[in-house]
């Protein structure tokens, strides 16, 4: 019996022939799949990751796209040591290799300055105030000495000539001026009328007359929502009193405008008579 007769006329030959056909088809399919996967994954084709740390997002985008890669921002942070809006970290790292179409993940520096609240520095030593401000990344650009009851204590914090109230937010990294007490002067000044003024207005007006704010009391405990509504309804010493520069003036605050107006009218009547 010949091989041809065996393959065509016997049951065993028929089975063997089908197995060979299935094997050939299987090998062909496997080669097709491997070829497709190789082309799909671009096996062996890699590009060098460009160095984009320190670049602005727009210029990094152009470079990454030119290399056939994708730029993806995953987070932002804040640092005053690098320009705002620039890339501070990338993954994969520069000069490493990756396939076409892969994402380059970056962290960028915030495009806006972070703001920090001014702490309440009144009546603490200027050395302590300096340390507190530096811990918040706020620079002390200048010192101004004015008459006060006590030496070397902070009277005010100013920026661009304007008094800053505790809690007010300014740009991190910016500079402020500390107003520091140098003790009482030997010149007398008249106490200004601060009835009806807010706490910040009263402090600014007193400082403009080289006087300092002493104690300040609320007739009712304020909340964050109501604190800005309080005005001065009583002051000691009263308006017009002659005192030494650097002396303190105590104030009392209320949300009752009528109370402030009543005392103001009473003082006006006393001045008239």
Q: Are residue 12 and residue 72 in the same domain, yes or no? A: no
Specify the higher pLDDT residue, 71 or 265. Answer: 71
Q: Please tell me the distance from the alpha carbon of residue 53 to that of residue 88, in angstroms, as a whole number.
A: 5
Q: Are residue 272 and residue 201 in the same domain, yes or no? A: yes
Residue 51: CA count within 13 A, CB half-sphere: 2
- What's the domain range around 34? 3-41
Residue with tokens 């949300």: 255
pLDDT of 17 higher than 80? no
**Residues facing residue 97 across a β-bridge:** 48
**Pairing, β 248-254 against β 212-218:** parallel
Q: Are residue 270 and residue 210 in the same domain, yes or no? A: yes
Answer yes or no: are the C-beta atoms of 213 and 179 closer than 8 Å. Answer: no
Q: Are residue 120 and residue 170 in the same domain, yes or no? A: yes
Q: Choose one of 183, 216, 236: the last residue of a domain.
A: 183
Q: Are residue 158 and residue 227 in the same domain, yes or no? A: no
Q: Are residue 193 and residue 261 in the same domain, yes or no? A: yes
- What's the pLDDT tens digit per position in 216-226? 999 988 888 88
Q: Are residue 244 and residue 200 in the same domain, yes or no? A: yes
Q: Are residue 51 and residue 98 in the same domain, yes or no? A: yes
Confidence (pLDDT) at 272: 44
Q: How far apart are the first and last CA of the chain?
A: 147
Specify the higher pLDDT residue, 259 or 231. Answer: 231
DSSP string, the chain: --HHHHHHHSHHHHHHHHHHHHHHHHHHHHHHHHHHHHHHHTTT-EEEPP--TTSBHHHHHHHHHHTT-EEEEEEEE--SSS-TTBEEEEESPTT-EEETT-EEEEEEE-SS--EEEPP--TTSBHHHHHHHHHHTT-EEEEEEEE--SSEEEEEEEEETTEEPPTT-EEETT-EEEEEEEE---S-EEEPP--TT--HHHHHHHHHHTT-EEEEEEESS---TTTGGG-EEEEEESPTT-EEETT-EEEEEEES-HHHHHHHHHHHHHHHH-
pLDDT of 99 higher than 60? yes
Confidence (pLDDT) at 241: 94
**Reduced 3-state DSSP string for 140-157:** EEEEEEECCCCEEEEEEE
Confidence (pLDDT) at 122: 86
pLDDT of 194 higher than 80? yes
Q: Choose one of 159, 183, 207: the last residue of a domain.
A: 183
Mean pLDDT of 31-43: 64
Q: Are residue 83 and residue 134 in the same domain, yes or no? A: no
Q: Are residue 175 and residue 214 in the same domain, yes or no? A: no
Mean pLDDT of 17-27: 76
Q: Please tell me the distance from the alpha carbon of residue 236 to that of residue 231, in angstroms, as a whole number.
A: 15
pLDDT of 177 higher than 90? yes
Q: Choose one of 168, 183, 198: the last residue of a domain.
A: 183
**How many domains does the chain divide into?**
4
Q: Are residue 169 and residue 201 in the same domain, yes or no? A: no
Q: What is the CATH number for 252?
A: 3.30.10.20
Asked which of 70-74, 96-100, 182-186 is least confident by mean pLDDT, the reply is 182-186
What percentage of the chain carries pLDDT values higher than 70? 85
């Amino acid at each position: 019996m010949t091989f041809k007769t065996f393959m065509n006329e016997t049951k065993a030959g028929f089975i063997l022939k089908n197995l060979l056909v299935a094997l050939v088809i299987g090998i062909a399919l496997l080669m097709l799949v491997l070829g497709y996967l190789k082309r799909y994954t671009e096996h062996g084709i890699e590009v060098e990751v460009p160095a984009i740390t320190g670049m602005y997002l727009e210029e990094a985008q152009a470079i990454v796209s030119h290399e056939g890669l994708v730029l993806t921002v995953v987070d932002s942070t804040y640092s005053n040591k690098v320009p705002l809006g620039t890339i501070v970290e990338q993954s994969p790292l520069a000069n490493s290799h990756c396939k076409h179409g892969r994402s380059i993940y970056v962290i960028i520096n915030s495009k806006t300055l972070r703001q920090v609240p001014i702490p309440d520095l009144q009546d603490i030593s200027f050395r302590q105030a300096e340390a507190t401000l530096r811990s918040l990344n706020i620079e002390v650009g200048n010192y101004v000495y004015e008459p006060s009851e006590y030496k070397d204590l902070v009277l005010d914090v100013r920026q661009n000539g304007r008094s800053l109230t505790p809690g007010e937010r300014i740009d991190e990294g910016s500079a402020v001026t500390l107003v520091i007490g140098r003790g009482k002067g030997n010149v007398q000044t008249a106490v200004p009328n601060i009835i009806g003024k807010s706490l910040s207005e009263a402090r600014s007006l007193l400082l403009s007359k080289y006087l300092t704010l002493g104690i300040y009391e609320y007739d009712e405990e304020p909340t964050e929502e109501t604190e800005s509504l309080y005005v001065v309804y009583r002051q000691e010493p009263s308006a017009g009193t002659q005192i030494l520069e650097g002396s303190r003036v105590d104030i009392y605050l209320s949300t009752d405008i009528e109370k402030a107006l009543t005392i103001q009218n009473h003082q006006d009547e006393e001045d008239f008579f």
